[in-house]
Amino acid sequence: MPPVRLKHVERARDRHGRVAYWYFRDRAGGGPRLPLRGPEGSPEFLADYQAALAQSEGAGRAVHDGATGTIGWLVRRYYRSSEYLQLTPGTRRQRQSILTRFCAWRPRQDAPTVGERPFATLRPAHLRIIRDAMAATPSAANNMLKVVRTLYAFACRYELATLNPASQVERLTPPNPDGHHTWTRAEIAKFEARWPIGTRERLAMALLLYTGRRRSDVVRLGPRNASDGWLQILEQKRGQGQRAKLVEIPIVPALAEVLASSSTGADAYMVTAQGQPFSPDGFGNWFRDACRAAGLPHCSAHGLRKALMTLLAEGGATAHQVQAMGGWTSLAEPTRYTRAADRRRLNAAAADLLAAAFSQTAATTAQTPENTTQKQRTAPGVVIPTGRKWSRKIS
């Protein structure tokens, strides 16, 4: 007899092919997404389900059932706003997760949670305390500040608040200000040596490197997107209120060679070992494992997108060409790549000029002490050192 299907349970295969279970009750309201031990219906599964049920109900009361005027109430109003509902599902999930943790934070065990406090009393000093408590993970602390800033910007626009306390709080310096590591040519060659053409890992790298797409787009690329030597895809990531952009990428010979020699799925090029499409997160984790196996633990999928933009800029591409390949709507990011490439080219040219100038100077000034003394002796009216005292040669 099949197990009873319980409410709020999600099922999916992880990157190892195992079925994983999660409890996810309140999607729109930002409820917690909690793992459950399998198999479904086992005593461990039912125990985890009961614990998750109790935890989500407690979190729901703290975050979403707060009295009018609390931070939890403001979060609930934000979730019902049009600007939040226009966000992509992935962005909504991310903000729900951050706001749930923010509202559940408390300075000490016997103190009320942030979600239970009046939102009008939140001050920059309070946010600095929460930020400092997250100093071990500066990127998470900065993301918290960013989302709280968005929450209070919403409150100001709807005249629920007059000040945005998060706008006055300083960000922490992340350990890697430049974000994901940009692959070098040597690292690309090392990965290719470990994963030859025909492997799924090499196919993944080729799709990431030669299209410049994010992993959320790469997992959706498939034969249906290819036409007349081009790949066409609607970008998954987009700004608030923006429509999905259609991006067209040429299938360069190196990518065509890998595609022709690889086993792909019917709908998507990249599939798991069980023939199922990847999720963006599952693909990212699986590709990280491939990087570690190649001796590149610091490399990631997004770093190949940055590598392509860097190679284009170093090859002389303009900011507009880099912008078109990256699918950006402004020139801010592509200009950063081209400016860095131009700086390197100028520095290299300056180094060549400097080397040439020093070589000419060395050629004209290279002389022995004997030659110097002889020239000074033959030159009229020149003061020369004699070793013990100075004397002037009389012409």
Whether the per-residue pLDDT at 395 is higher than 50: the answer is no
Based on the domain organization, do 28 and 159 belong to the same domain? yes
The whole-angstrom separation of Cα 122 and Cα 119 is 6
Based on the domain organization, do 149 and 271 belong to the same domain? no
Which of the two residues, 129 and 45, has the higher pLDDT score?
Answer: 129
Q: Name residues whose C-beta falls within 8 Å of residue 54's C-beta, 6 or more positions apart in sequence.
A: none
pTM of the predicted structure, to 2 decimals: 0.60
Based on the domain organization, do 264 and 139 belong to the same domain? no
Based on the domain organization, do 252 and 309 belong to the same domain? yes
Q: Which amino acid is at 138?
A: P
Domain CATH for 240: 1.10.443.10
Based on the domain organization, do 284 and 328 belong to the same domain? yes
The whole-angstrom separation of Cα 91 and Cα 326 is 20
Which of the two residues, 204 and 360, has the higher pLDDT score?
Answer: 204
The whole-angstrom separation of Cα 281 and Cα 300 is 12
Which of the two residues, 384 and 56, has the higher pLDDT score?
Answer: 56
The answer to the question of residue 329 being in a domain is yes
Based on the domain organization, do 163 and 212 belong to the same domain? no
For residue range 129-182, list pLDDT tens digits in order. Answer: 999 999 988 989 999 999 999 999 999 999 999 899 999 999 998 777 667 888
The answer to the question of residue 44 being in a domain is yes
Q: What confidence category does residue 62 fall into, taking pLDDT thresholds of 50, 70 and 90?
A: very low
Q: Which amino acid is at 170?
A: E
Among 303, 326, 341, the domain boundary falls at 341
The whole-angstrom separation of Cα 248 and Cα 211 is 9
Among 168, 199, 226, the domain boundary falls at 168
Based on the domain organization, do 16 and 156 belong to the same domain? yes
The answer to the question of residue 314 being in a domain is yes
Q: What confidence category does residue 48 fall into, taking pLDDT thresholds of 50, 70 and 90?
A: confident
**Any idea which residue has 């079925």 for tokens?**
19
The whole-angstrom separation of Cα 116 and Cα 103 is 8
Range of the domain at 205: 185-341
With 0-12 / 13-18 / 19 or more C-beta atoms within 10 angstroms meaning exposed / middle / buried, residue 124 is middle
Based on the domain organization, do 213 and 152 belong to the same domain? no
For residue range 95-140, list pLDDT tens digits in order. Answer: 999 999 999 999 888 888 999 999 999 999 999 999 999 998 898 9
The whole-angstrom separation of Cα 244 and Cα 139 is 27
Based on the domain organization, do 58 and 101 belong to the same domain? yes
The answer to the question of residue 1 being in a domain is no
- Which token pair is 77? 């109003």
Based on the domain organization, do 15 and 124 belong to the same domain? yes
Based on the domain organization, do 17 and 53 belong to the same domain? yes
Based on the domain organization, do 70 and 163 belong to the same domain? yes
The answer to the question of residue 178 being in a domain is no
**Any idea which residue has 């600007």 for tokens?**
83
Per the structure, how many domains does the chain have? 2
For residue range 269-314, list pLDDT tens digits in order. Answer: 999 988 888 988 889 999 999 999 999 999 999 999 988 988 888 8
Q: What is the pLDDT at residue 365? A: 58
Q: Where are the beta strands (DSSP E) in the chain?
A: 9-13, 19-24, 33-36, 226-227, 230-234, 246-250, 383-385, 390-392
Among 168, 200, 225, the domain boundary falls at 168
The answer to the question of residue 15 being in a domain is yes
- 3-state class (DSSP) for residue 381: coil
Mean pLDDT of the chain: 81
Q: Name residues whose C-beta falls within 8 Å of residue 212's C-beta, 6 or more positions apart in sequence.
A: 249, 305, 308, 309, 325, 326, 327
The answer to the question of residue 130 being in a domain is yes
The whole-angstrom separation of Cα 395 and Cα 375 is 14
Q: What is the pLDDT at residue 109? A: 84
Find the radius of gyration of the CA atoms of the chain.
31
The answer to the question of residue 94 being in a domain is yes
